[in-house]
Structure 1
Amino acid sequence: MKRRDFILAAVGAAVSLSKTAQAQQASRVVGVLGSASQQAVRMNFAPAKARLAEMGYVEGRNLTIEYHGADDQLDRLPLLVADLVQRRVAAIVALTGPATSAAKAATSSIPIIFFTGFDPVASGFVKSLNRPGGNVTGVFIFGPELIFKRLELIHDLVPAAKTIAFLYTQTAIKSGDVPLKNLQQTAEAIGVKLLFLNVAGATDLDQSFARAEGEGAAALIVHSDPIFLNNREKIIALADRHRLPTIYFIRQYAAEGGLISYGPNYTDAFRQVGDIVGRALKGEKPEDLPVQQVTKIELVINAKAANSLGLTVPVALLGRADEVIE
């Protein structure tokens, strides 16, 4: 073989090997499963995707992400996760408690990384936080503990309120019932009646706010459910229309015109999700990856919203705030 032909053959072989390697890299597929719309699932996962890129997994280069959203119809989750299992994805990211339950029921071999406010041990997702066991691990937000603090904060802000509405979504996960029962007892202890409003979908929001006003609620707590995460603009508008002082679970509400928020930084939390996914893609087993707990909690007050509602924010509350939006 002539030297020129040899070089061409070698170059051709190298290119072929490079393409093969790229194809192998591109075969890593991650499924992202949520209870909301596909667009909302994609948007919520964005910080996790950014963290994956920092770890060397770039969508369109060596990573494919399949986004599945149930459009607030939780009974669709088993079919959606079955599709991901059939595609033999490298990992499944479950962005809600119900999505985690569906994924866990569908596979015991594919790594499942959850993002949830449900207690993952009490909900049966993992055996323990430090030693998850099985194929499931993820990021846990202290949802149960935070709802008591939100009640305290909105009561401090609207002390005359005798009835406070509580917006939540009923699920089949029984561990979510315990905090609600305890919250009722806490409210009774401070002389407040709680009006529980179960919202199954975005179409229920108008009716729920109307009922809150009709039954004399003087304040509102919005729980950390996916429906509320993905319908912020509508919820803020309804709270304003009904002149209902409302406390929310993430900063974005207050930044977008809501009165007050108390909860974790979701961007940081989703980056933690991305970090765990990246470690799973590198070969680490979920059973060896402790559940990460979000511990940084932010109190944000929108002073302009308070003024529009005729509320005077106590100086002590302003002093505790991480941020006051003027």
Structure 2
Amino acid sequence: MQLKVAIIVTGGAAAAQAARGATSAVPIVMVDPGDPVRTKLIASLGQPGGNMTGLSSATPDLAAKHLQLLKEAVPGLTRVGFLSNPNAPAGALALEETEKAAVMLGVKVQPIEMRKAEELDDAFAALARAQARGLIVFADPLTFTLRQRIVQAAAHRGLPTVSGSREFVDAGGMMSYGPSFPEMFRQAAMYVDKLLHGAKAAELPVEQPTRFELVIDMKAAKSLGVTFPQSILMRADAVIE
């Protein structure tokens, strides 16, 4: 590393992997790195070891919950696309959990890969060929950056969507379920403070979110012909009219 920094803060799995590859000495506070244990960024959540700590959004059933919510909102759903960047390590893990849930729900999951913005049209063409009737968007830096285009393309093709980031609903998507990412970055500041006051990254447990937000957009749902059941409306933390 050329810059002399005291602490590195990363967002997303790819950035965490890159920072880990760049230094083993500078403390790294990671935010939303996927499952940092399964991707071998840390030894364990309780005792990270090495120079990394922070906040992980990965929980055992989060990916499965997205499919469950989509199926609950669209009961006749039998085929759904899973859009992700294959270069994002956490995406493969989320797809694996989604496919496990799909077996129980009687849904066929079609993985759709998009490595760069120029592949967006091809991704939606693949969704059409797969005859997907719903779309799960895995939130990574690429899909997050393209969220406006993704939700517009999905709406144009009549695809109900769900993602793990509220910002997708703010962009016009139908539904999201996941932790608050702005809140996670605020919590990351507490890690930075502890590290600056002498704490060791190896000894600071990696925290997982304890509260998740269910956000729904009634206007987007109506345009897609989706009527949210009371079971979803009653659990929603925010309803956009």
Indicate the TM-score class for this superposition, using the shorter chain for normalisation: over 0.9
Please say if residues 117 and 144 of structure 1, whose CA atoms lie closer than 8 Å, have aligned partners that are also in contact. no
Question: Which residue of 222, 225, 245 maps to 2:160?
Answer: 245
Task: Please say if residues 85 and 91 of structure 2, whose CA atoms lie closer than 8 Å, have aligned partners that are also in contact.
Answer: no
**How much does 1:253 deviate?**
2.0
Match of 1:15 in 2: none
Give ranges in structure 1 of 5+ residues lacking alignment. 1-84
The 8 Å contact of residues 150 and 262 in structure 1, kept in 2 or not, is answered as yes
What TM-score, normalized by structure 1, do the two folds share? Answer: 0.69
Please name the residue that 2:14 is paired with. 98
Residue identity (%): 39
TM-superposed deviation, 1:176: 5.3
Specify the structure having the higher radius of gyration (Cα).
1
Q: In 2, are the aligned partners of 1:272 and 1:292 still within 8 Å (CA)?
A: no
Match of 2:177 in 1: 262
* Partner residue of 1:234 out of 149, 171, 192: 149
The partner residue of 1:272 within 187, 203, 208 is: 187
Q: What is the aligned partner in structure 2 of residue 311 from structure 1?
A: 226
Greater relative contact order (Cα 8 A, min sep 6): structure 1 or 2? Answer: 2
Assess if the C-alpha contact under 8 Å between 1:167 and 1:220 holds in 2. Answer: yes
Checking the alignment, whether the CA contact within 8 Å between 1:250 and 1:263 is kept in structure 2 is yes
| RMSD of aligned Cα (Å) | 1.8
Q: In the alignment, which residue of structure 2 is the partner of 1:299?
A: 214
Partner amino acid for 1:242? R
1:265 is displaced (CA, Å) by 0.7
Secondary structure of 1:257's match?
coil
1:110 positional shift? 0.8
Q: Say whether 1:206 aligns with 2:206.
A: no
1:191 to 103, 106, 112: 106
Q: Does 1:88 align with 2:9?
A: no
TM-score norm. by structure 2 comes to 0.92
Q: CA deviation at 1:270?
A: 0.9
Is 2:90 the partner of 1:170? no
Q: How many residues align?
A: 241
| Structure 2: stretches of 5+ with no match in the other structure | none
In the alignment, is residue 139 of structure 1 matched against residue 58 of structure 2?
A: no
1:143: how far off? 5.4
Structure 1 contact 163–192 (Cα < 8 Å) conserved: yes
Verify the 8 A CA contact 1:144 1:179 in the aligned structure 2: no
Q: Which residue of 2 aligns with 1:111?
A: 27
Question: What's the offset of the Cα at 1:269?
Answer: 0.6
Q: 1:143 to 1:166 in 2, by over 3 A?
A: farther
Contact 2:16–2:33 (CA under 8 A) maintained in structure 1:
no
Residue equivalent to 2:95: 180
Deviation of the 1:179 alpha carbon:
4.2
Conserved? CA contact 1:164–1:195, under 8 Å: yes
Higher helix share: 1
CA distance in 2, matches of 1:305, 1:210: 22
Q: In structure 2, do the counterparts of structure 1 residues 219 and 172 end up closer, same or farther at CA, with 3 Å as the change threshold? A: closer
Runs of 4+ in structure 1 deviating by more than 4 angstroms, as ranges, are none
Q: Quick check: 1:164–1:194 contact (8 Å CA) kept in 2? A: yes
